[in-house]
Amino acid sequence: MLEKEVKILNSLGIHARPASMIVKLASKFDSHIELEKDNVRVNAKSIMGVLMLASEEGDKIKIIANGKDEEEAVKALVELIEKRKFDEE
């Protein structure tokens, strides 16, 4: 199992479009992937789950991946969230 904490950097947080980007990216991997914020853990492949986190700019979320491609999955999600900022800025 691999875990990595990331900070939400885009100004609008995780609204519908970024949530769909997370789900689409997470679904490409075989690993079980979850996101956790404030002790609430959700399936990263569920748009309803990702939206339930109500993550805003500055919030920290934890990516938890477990499976054969966990390292690649966490790396790709970190890239999307922290480096690309969901391609919004």
**pLDDT for 42-73, tens place per residue?**
999 999 999 999 999 999 999 999 999 999 99
Structure tokens at 32: 């079980």
Q: Check: CB of residue 77 under 8 Å from CB of residue 12.
A: no
The distance in angstroms from the start CA to the end CA of the chain is: 31
Tens-digit pLDDT profile for residues 14-32: 999 999 999 999 999 999 9
Residues taking part in catalysis: 15
pLDDT of residue 89 exceeding 80, the answer is no
Q: What is the pLDDT of residues 26-50, one digit of tens each?
A: 999 999 999 999 999 999 999 999 9
